[in-house]
Amino acid sequence: MSVQPQMPKSWRSETKPHKFCPGCGHPLILKALGEVIDELNIADRTVFGCDIGCSLLAWDFFNVDTIQTHHGRTTPVIVGLRRANENVIGIAYMGDGGGYAIGSQHLVNSAARDEKVFVLLANNTQYGMTGGQMAPTTLPGQKTETSPYGRDTELTGPPVQGPEMVAAISGENAYVARGTVGNVRQLKKFIKKAIQNVMEGRGFAFVEALSLCPTNWRTNAEDTWKFVEKDMATYFKVGEIKVPGEKKEG
């Protein structure tokens, strides 16, 4: 075989190029996730759930059993599955809209019940799939399709601090962190620790990944990186927030 792309083994090459837009952050997160699945050698017992949101474009992304669910409902589907089969490593993958808006009751209650599942959330500060509406994570002043004059925090509050909320509601066995596609190596480390937390049956795991959406941000490559590394970083602090029995990296 000639030289081939360095895709994670758990990526399904038959479905590549994948369905995400050019320059999207989702596949970067999924690359980190795929490498972790490879390294932990758990493709046979992992179930990957993807939400409605651009995450659904990953419904045939992995060589891993995958369930594409409803908008905001990936967490309960994966929780229900994990409750029924404790051998499963359940990963619920979703966007900021799916996790912090329509699915927030599932996120906070799964965290509160210390469900042994891993919720991985791509924060791209808006609703990507539906064409760029305001999300709970939209930055102050950011223009979106439903905040055409810029998000007014007087009217709609400040950007949601998701991991901080999850940390506040979860028990001491939860792993909570925020990574970024601007630092994929660190993100991968967080994802690995998160999966280990559920693999070892210790507790809930949550990682928010700051992501990219050049399509709806209407940014070129330069501004795409700038938005995630400068603008988003101002509001969303990258690092570990809760690490069971360990010092955080942050």
Partner 1 sequence: MAKGVKIALAGEGGQGVQSVAMILTEAAYAMGKEALYIPNFGVEQRGGVSVAFVQIDDEKIGSPKFKTADIVVALSDRAVRRTTMYCDQETLFFYDDNIEDVEEDLPKNSKKVVALPAIKVAKEELHPRVFNVVVMGAVIGATGVVTEEKAKEALESKLGYKFEQNPELREMNFKALQRGMEIVKEVM
Partner 2 sequence: MTKPIEGEKKVFMTGNEVVAWAALAAGAEIMYGYPITPQNEIMHYWTRMAPKYGRKFLQTEDEISAGFTCTGGVLAGKRAFTATAGPGNTLMQEPMSMAEMMRIPTVLIVCQRGGPSTATVIYSQQETTMTCYGGNGEGFRIVYSTATHQELFDYTIKAFNTAWKYRFPTFVLGDGYQSKMRESLSIYDPEARNIEMVRAEPYVVKGGVPGENRDPAHLRNTYNMEEELYEVIMDHAREYEKIAPEIIEYEEYECDDADVLLVAHGVVSRAAKGAVKELRQDGKKVGHFKPVTLRPFPEKELLERAKAAKQVIVIESAYGQLDKLVKSHLYGCSTPIAQYFRPGEGITIEEVVQETKKYL
Partner 3 sequence: MGVEFKAVTYQDGKGIFHLFPGLCKGCGLCIEKCPVDTIGWSDKLGVFGTPTVEPGHGKPCIACKMCQLVCPDCAIYIEKVNKEKAQ
Ligand X SMILES: Cc1ncc(C[n+]2csc(CCOP(=O)(O)OP(=O)(O)O)c2C)c(N)n1
Nearer to partner 3 by Cβ, of 9 and 248: the residue is 9
Residues 44-63 that bind ligand SF4 (CB under 6 A): 54
Q: Supply the DSSP string of 159-206, one letter for each residue.
A: PP-HHHHHHHHS-TT-EEEEEEGGGHHHHHHHHHHHHHHHHTT---EE
Which residue in this structure is represented by tokens 């369905």? 19
Q: Which does 20 bind (CB under 5 to 8 A by kind): its own copies, ligand SF4, Mg ion, none?
A: ligand SF4
Residue 95 CB, shortest distance to partner 2, in Å, is: 12
Q: Contact, 54 vs 26, CB < 8 A?
A: yes
If one asks whether residue 209 binds ligand X (CB under 6 A), the answer comes out as no
Cα angle 30-35-40, degrees, rounded to a multiple of 5: 125
Could you say whether residue 95 binds Mg ion (CB under 5 A)? yes
| Contact pick of 96, 115, 208, 240 for ligand X (by CB under 6 A) | 96
Please state, in angstroms and rounded to a whole number, the distance separating the CA atoms of residues 119 and 117: 6
202 binds its own copies, rule: CB under 8 A: no
* Beta strand spans in the chain (E): 46-50, 65-68, 89-95, 118-123, 126-127, 133-134, 175-180, 205-210, 239-242
> Should residue 79 be labelled a site residue for its own copies when binding is judged by CB under 8 A?
no
Given 141, 150, 157, 250, the residue binding its own copies (CB under 8 A): 157
Binding of Mg ion at residue 215 (CB under 5 A)? no
Partners of 180 in the beta sheet? 210
Amino acid in position 214: P
From partner 3, ligand X, Mg ion, none, which one binds at residue 28 (CB under 5 to 8 Å depending on kind)?
partner 3
Q: Which residues contact 193 (CB under 8 A, 6 or more apart)?
A: 175, 177, 205, 240, 243
Report what 119 binds from partner 1, Mg ion, ligand X, none; CB cut-off 5-8 Å by kind: none
CB of 122 to ligand SF4, least distance (A): 7
Contact stretch for its own copies (CB under 8 A) within 46-54, 73-81, 102-110, 185-193: 102-110
Nearer to partner 3, 48 or 204 (CB): 48
Cα end-to-end distance, the chain, whole Å = 42
Nearest to 147 by CA among 123, 127, 121, 122: 127
CB atoms within 10 A of CB 162: 24
CB of 217 to ligand SF4, least distance (A): 8
The contact set with Mg ion (CB under 5 A) reads: 95-96, 124, 128
The contact set with partner 3 (CB under 8 A) reads: 1-7, 11-14, 16-18, 20-28, 31, 181, 184-185, 212, 214, 220-222, 224-225
The contact set with partner 1 (CB under 8 A) reads: 19-22, 54, 56-57, 128-129, 131, 215-216
